[in-house]
A and B are shown apart, each in its own frame.
Chain A
Amino acid sequence: MLRNFIILTLASFAFVACETRSDVEIANEENILIMGNSAEPKGLDPHLVSGVLESNIIRALFEGLCVEHPSKNEESLPGAAKSWTHSPDYTQWTFSLNPDAKWSDGVPVTARDFAFAYKRLLSPDPNWPAKYAEMLYFLKNAEAYHKNKFGHILCGNDTNFPLPWDTLKEANFDGDPTIKLKSFNDKKFEDLKKSKREKLAKYLQDGETIDLSKITPKEVNFNDLSSPEKRIYFNAKGIDKLSEKELTFLKTQTDVIKWTDKVPENIRQIVLDRIIEHHKAKKPSLWDKAKVGVTIVDDFTLKLDLRGPVPFLHHITKHYTWFPVPKHVVLKYGEINTGLSSPWTKVGNIVSNGAFKLKKWRTNHILELDRNPHYWDNENVHLNGIRYLPVKNLFTETRMFGDGQLHITYKVPAELLKMAEEKYPKSLRKEDYVGVRYIRVNTAKSPFTDPKVRRAFALAIDQKALCDKVLMGGQQPASGIVPPFGDSQPAGVIQFDPEEAKKLLAESEFADPASRPEITLLTTDSDSSLREAVAYQAMWEKHLGIKVRILQREWSTYLSRQFSQDYDLAIAGWIGDFLDPTTFLEMWITDGGNNNTGWGSKQFEDLLKEAENTADPAARLQILAKAEKTILDDTPILPVYWYATNYLIRPEVKNWHPLLLNNHPFKFVKIEK
């Protein structure tokens, strides 16, 4: 028995020993591209993923209205749409779809699929786990629909409503974002910080105090509340978020919430009646009433109305959130917004409209795509397929490249850059990538309450030394938040200046070392982030004489601590979704979900709003540059460097040019034998 086993094993090795060509050599003959893709994809539903590695696969499977140009960042090529026009003010775009465009099962791709996709991604259902719906907020009324803004949808969109929305919207529909009821948990009103008490003050009359314990639980019994408690509770929530019971109560005492004088009592009653009626009807879909700016003119014409001028809409349609999903397949395997439990993206079920279709998907092993014979431009697609390998270990990946197992790697780790430079000089790429590395500052904690201290920390970072001596991957010192691309110029505000930094620190409230508490620098538990953190630590100690303590935490704790603003300084990064400064600026609005610095500025938000309503591209960029300067002057974040991508690519892979978003269109990629 044992002998048989040995013979069998040896025989099977002898059998495989015949194959002496490398994987890449075999793949070259089959015309298949093999890529390292860093990790197992979390999923393939374009509406439910948010990562770079998933996007690498989804871009090959699906196709949006426009497609990336293989080498020009600023250009868009026809994809599912064969042509498009826009109104002179860029607020209305009409896309003529390609009638030859088909799903991989031969069913035509129509405007219905796009409208269905947008309705799906924007679904307001709390059980719908989409992470990226705000990418569609460019569409008119999309935000109101997604966030279930009842007032806006039921009254504002009604042209016959007795009061115009512009007046009505002054009422407190959205709630007061500065009051977080949960944060009062276990606190007493008298013990609140002054800043917090001031936020409450506008709802209180002189001398009134409240019992916080009554308004913090999940189920608040509002009948027990005193009238100032009611005012705070209702205003913190806002009309749109109130339950049916609360609304019915509000009808009897409308002035508990802020309406402004311009909304008379009878109008208040109509508004509340409409929302109550909607609750009573078991909340039917509001899609039609919401009037989201998506119109199916006919099967092959899609009209998009936008919330304001968006001269770069064609760039945005290249992002996977704007891709269509196959209505007929999604509905076959579930409802429009069946999220995690829908099997429509499994092998055998999924159909796609891009150059490739899904062939094989094994967890932690391989994901393989095949040519899509129904693709409209199939004859111009060079590759027969793509294999994605989830190589988590980047050292293994580089070794696999050297052994001829990969055409393209995901990333060369910083430790191997020098080796790669010597060994594979022709294969190593160091390309600019629209992303920014920065240090997030908790502006609520001393000493960072003083902008001078923040600025001193920013100016004491020797960005160039960090890029050239520590990172060595072609990163560029960041003089601002938005990396340069196209007509958008770098801000040029933050530059290493140790003298100025010292001066600022000396002028600040915290000039005296004894007045400064211990400062920690939060980062992840990887080796490379530690190297970076140590560099900052050394620079601050050398130039400011301040020794910060490095705090390494594993990924999810690292993220949670930032979201709950439980840190002093935190190393972080942001990668652009499209080529426009707003992708880097919008997150810094007051209490934005990804802001987490406690910083906010009315002036900044007004500038963003102004840009949103400016059609002229050049003027728009100028306003946005001003907005960026507003942040940088206050320095709630310390920009450090602009990202670069480092990867290895085999010389036989053609039509793979540097692209700022690193979104290479696979349909053009070619393997030259």
Chain B
Amino acid sequence: MTKLILSRVLQTLLVVFFLVTFVFFAVRAIPGNPFVSEKKTTEQERAALEAYYGLDKPLPVQYFNYWKNILTRGDFGDSLGMKGRKVSTLIKESFPVSLKLGLLSLFFGLIIGIPLGIIAALYHNKWQDYIAMIVAMAGICVVAFVLGPIFQLVFGKPLPILNVAGWSRSSDILLPAITLCFGVAAYLARLTRGGMLDVLSQDYIRTARAKGVPTMKIITKHAMRPALMPAVTYLGPAFAAIITGSFVVETIFLVPGMGQHFVTGITSNDYNLVLGLVLFYGILMGIANLLSDIALLFMDPKLRKA
């Protein structure tokens, strides 16, 4: 167990290191310049700005300084686009929002996706299966920028307790969470169905059936745990992705989350912001994968021995 955690942590650190290194150079290779604006930026101004952000130094020095500032002072630098704001402040402000929204939509995704998958497996190749899978396929195919406006018009506008967009009322979380949950629910449904079909054809299930154990009990007691393993493996990265926000859902519903920063960071050549986010996302992804690995250990005794 400790060995697993330790090796996972080391792996994560290694992955984050390579990720940041790659993104550090990749983001600088994007065409455009962070200091371009509608009004001409003179050579002198640009030089001053580049000196202020340390962009005038050779790339290897910049790269070295980037790590140095993080490791010695915990400083991710200033945002180049939103001038005067620290990357760490931007993440600190926006992450709790994305986390809250992500957790709720993950919860919705679980309570929709898993039952849907189980039903589909139980009624394999019957109309229930087809309907469940059509719903799941639609959840994957219909993207958020189609679903979002539909929900805004169908629920947000006619219902007085729901706002179309915004982040001021506590009910404001509902529509974006539901929009986000469909993708997760759809994947979960398909993975659960697959896992469940696999388990249900096993001998021990047949034995249980032969013994006359009620279907409900077979599912909850015997089939559920192994059948959910693929879903749990998927949940790790899905968890990290969903709690770091989605650009589309956030701009449609005016949610002050982290997803917007990813896209504005790229389009405005905001190197520091993009790097800070990638670093943060990388670490989260590592933690989430570790958690899903540990969960699998608890679910599958065979893995514990290995």
Q: List 7 A-B contacts (CB under 8 A).
A: A12-B170, A16-B170, A364-B250, A364-B260, A366-B167, A403-B163, A403-B164
Set of chain B residues within 8 Å of A403, measured between Cβ atoms:
156-157, 163-164
Inter-subunit contact B166/A389 (CB<8 Å): yes
Contact residue among A366, A389, A556 (Cβ-Cβ distance under 8 Å from B269): A556
Distance, CA A393 to CA B36, complexed state (A): 23
Nearest 4 interchain pairs by C-beta: A593-B40, A365-B256, A556-B32, A364-B256
Inter-subunit contact A13/B251 (CB<8 Å): no
Q: Quick one: which of B115-161 are within 8 Å of A by CB?
A: 149, 152-153, 156-157, 160-161
- Interface residue A465 (Cβ < 8 Å from any Cβ of B): no
Query: Can you list, as one digit per residue, whether each of A558-570 has a CB less than 8 Å from chain B (1) or not (0)?
Result: 0110010000000
- Interface residue A260 (Cβ < 8 Å from any Cβ of B): no
Query: Can you list, as one digit per residue, whether each of A444-480 has a CB less than 8 Å from chain B (1) or not (0)?
Result: 0000000000000000000000000000000000000
Set of chain B residues within 8 Å of A364, measured between Cβ atoms:
94, 250, 256-257, 260
- Interface residue A131 (Cβ < 8 Å from any Cβ of B): yes
Set of chain A residues within 8 Å of B85, measured between Cβ atoms:
363
- Interface residue B38 (Cβ < 8 Å from any Cβ of A): yes
Closest-CB distance, B291 to chain A (whole angstroms): 16
Looking at the complex, which of B7-15, B46-54, B195-203, B220-228 is the stretch in contact with chain A? B46-54
Set of chain A residues within 8 Å of B32, measured between Cβ atoms:
554, 556-557, 560
Inter-subunit contact A23/B156 (CB<8 Å): no
Q: Quick one: which of A313-369 are within 8 Å of B by CB?
A: 340-343, 345, 362-366
Set of chain B residues within 8 Å of A221, measured between Cβ atoms:
none
Q: Which of A22, A129, A342, A393 is packed against the most chain B CB atoms within 10 Å?
A: A393
- A13-B171, A345-B84, A560-B31 given; name 5 further pairs at CB < 8 Å: A43-B84, A127-B51, A399-B165, A405-B163, A594-B39
Inter-subunit contact A366/B171 (CB<8 Å): no
Inter-subunit contact A559/B161 (CB<8 Å): no
Query: Can you list, as one digit per residue, whether each of A376-420 has a CB less than 8 Å from chain B (1) or not (0)?
Result: 000000000000011111011001101101000000000000000
Inter-subunit contact A16/B164 (CB<8 Å): no
Inter-subunit contact A43/B83 (CB<8 Å): yes
Question: Is the interface on chain B under 10, 10 to 19, 20 to 34, or 35 or more residues?
Answer: 35 or more
With contact pairs A16-B161, A127-B51 given, residues A399 and B149 touching in the complex (Cβ less than 8 Å): yes
Contact residue among A12, A131, A363 (Cβ-Cβ distance under 8 Å from B39): A131
- Interface residue B104 (Cβ < 8 Å from any Cβ of A): yes
Set of chain B residues within 8 Å of A15, measured between Cβ atoms:
170
Interface SS of chain A: helix, strand, loop or mixed? loop
Set of chain A residues within 8 Å of B27, measured between Cβ atoms:
none
Q: Quick one: which of A509-563 are within 8 Å of B by CB?
A: 554-557, 559-560, 563
Distance, CA A362 to CA B168, complexed state (A): 12
Closest-CB distance, A564 to chain B (whole angstroms): 10
Closest-CB distance, B99 to chain A (whole angstroms): 15
Contact residue among B40, B81, B165 (Cβ-Cβ distance under 8 Å from A391): B165
Q: Quick one: which of A173-190 are within 8 Å of B by CB?
A: 182
Q: Quick one: which of B15-70 are within 8 Å of A by CB?
A: 31-34, 36-45, 47-49, 51-52
Contact residue among B78, B149, B152, B160 (Cβ-Cβ distance under 8 Å from A340): B78
Distance, CA A42 to CA B104, complexed state (A): 31
Closest-CB distance, B159 to chain A (whole angstroms): 9
With contact pairs A363-B93, A391-B254 given, residues A400 and B166 touching in the complex (Cβ less than 8 Å): yes
With contact pairs A16-B171, A20-B161, A363-B85 given, residues A340 and B52 touching in the complex (Cβ less than 8 Å): yes
- Interface residue A9 (Cβ < 8 Å from any Cβ of B): yes
Contact residue among A23, A127, A556, A593 (Cβ-Cβ distance under 8 Å from B52): A127
For B34, the closest partner residue in chain A by CB is: A556
Inter-subunit contact B156/A399 (CB<8 Å): yes
Distance, CA A659 to CA B48, complexed state (A): 38
- Interface residue A63 (Cβ < 8 Å from any Cβ of B): no
- Interface residue B107 (Cβ < 8 Å from any Cβ of A): yes
Set of chain A residues within 8 Å of B294, measured between Cβ atoms:
none
Inter-subunit contact A393/B160 (CB<8 Å): no
Inter-subunit contact B84/A393 (CB<8 Å): no
- Interface residue A281 (Cβ < 8 Å from any Cβ of B): no
Set of chain B residues within 8 Å of A363, measured between Cβ atoms:
82, 85, 90, 93-94, 256
For B162, the closest partner residue in chain A by CB is: A403
Closest-CB distance, B273 to chain A (whole angstroms): 11
Distance, CA A345 to CA B152, complexed state (A): 35
Q: Quick one: which of A117-138 are within 8 Å of B by CB?
A: 126-129, 131-132
For B269, the closest partner residue in chain A by CB is: A556
Contact residue among B31, B36, B160 (Cβ-Cβ distance under 8 Å from A21): B160
Query: Can you list, as one digit per residue, whether each of A206-226 has a CB less than 8 Å from chain B (1) or not (0)?
Result: 000000000000000000000
Distance, CA A19 to CA B170, complexed state (A): 10
For A125, the closest partner residue in chain B by CB is: B48
Set of chain B residues within 8 Å of A5, measured between Cβ atoms:
107
Inter-subunit contact B161/A395 (CB<8 Å): no
- Interface residue B73 (Cβ < 8 Å from any Cβ of A): no
Inter-subunit contact B166/A563 (CB<8 Å): no
Inter-subunit contact B38/A402 (CB<8 Å): no
Inter-subunit contact B49/A129 (CB<8 Å): yes
Q: Give the number of residues in A that approach B within 8 Å (Cβ atoms).
A: 56
With contact pairs A42-B83, A131-B39, A363-B93 given, residues A393 and B256 touching in the complex (Cβ less than 8 Å): no
Inter-subunit contact A556/B149 (CB<8 Å): no
- Interface residue A1 (Cβ < 8 Å from any Cβ of B): no
Query: Can you list, as one digit per residue, whether each of B107-119 has a CB less than 8 Å from chain A (1) or not (0)?
Result: 1000000000000
Set of chain B residues within 8 Å of A593, measured between Cβ atoms:
39-40, 42
Contact residue among A20, A129, A557, A594 (Cβ-Cβ distance under 8 Å from B40): A594
Set of chain A residues within 8 Å of B37, measured between Cβ atoms:
50, 131, 559
For A180, the closest partner residue in chain B by CB is: B43
- Interface residue A628 (Cβ < 8 Å from any Cβ of B): no
Inter-subunit contact B48/A126 (CB<8 Å): yes
Inter-subunit contact A22/B160 (CB<8 Å): yes
Set of chain A residues within 8 Å of B48, measured between Cβ atoms:
126-129
With contact pairs A126-B47, A364-B94, A392-B251 given, residues A559 and B166 touching in the complex (Cβ less than 8 Å): no
Distance, CA A132 to CA B152, complexed state (A): 40
- Interface residue B268 (Cβ < 8 Å from any Cβ of A): yes
For B261, the closest partner residue in chain A by CB is: A364
Inter-subunit contact B169/A19 (CB<8 Å): yes
- Interface residue B252 (Cβ < 8 Å from any Cβ of A): yes
For B248, the closest partner residue in chain A by CB is: A393
Contact residue among A132, A342, A365, A400 (Cβ-Cβ distance under 8 Å from B167): A365
Set of chain A residues within 8 Å of B262, measured between Cβ atoms:
none
- Interface residue B267 (Cβ < 8 Å from any Cβ of A): yes
Closest-CB distance, B238 to chain A (whole angstroms): 19
Closest-CB distance, B176 to chain A (whole angstroms): 11
Inter-subunit contact B171/A17 (CB<8 Å): yes
With contact pairs A43-B83, A364-B260, A399-B165 given, residues A126 and B94 touching in the complex (Cβ less than 8 Å): no
Inter-subunit contact A559/B253 (CB<8 Å): no
Distance, CA A597 to CA B208, complexed state (A): 82
- Interface residue B174 (Cβ < 8 Å from any Cβ of A): yes
Query: Can you list, as one digit per residue, whether each of B80-100 has a CB less than 8 Å from chain A (1) or not (0)?
Result: 011111000010011000000
Q: Quick one: which of B224-263 are within 8 Å of A by CB?
A: 250-254, 256-257, 260
Set of chain A residues within 8 Å of B40, measured between Cβ atoms:
563, 593-594, 596
Query: Can you list, as one digit per residue, whether each of B167-191 has a CB less than 8 Å from chain A (1) or not (0)?
Result: 1111100100000000000000000
Set of chain B residues within 8 Å of A40, measured between Cβ atoms:
82
Distance, CA A19 to CA B169, complexed state (A): 9
With contact pairs A395-B149, A402-B157 given, residues A556 and B36 touching in the complex (Cβ less than 8 Å): yes
Set of chain B residues within 8 Å of A555, measured between Cβ atoms:
267
Closest-CB distance, B30 to chain A (whole angstroms): 9
Set of chain B residues within 8 Å of A132, measured between Cβ atoms:
39
Distance, CA A593 to CA B107, complexed state (A): 54
Contact residue among B33, B39, B42, B251 (Cβ-Cβ distance under 8 Å from A396): B251
Inter-subunit contact A50/B174 (CB<8 Å): no
Distance, CA A559 to CA B41, complexed state (A): 11
Set of chain B residues within 8 Å of A366, measured between Cβ atoms:
167-168
Set of chain B residues within 8 Å of A21, measured between Cβ atoms:
160
Set of chain B residues within 8 Å of A395, measured between Cβ atoms:
149
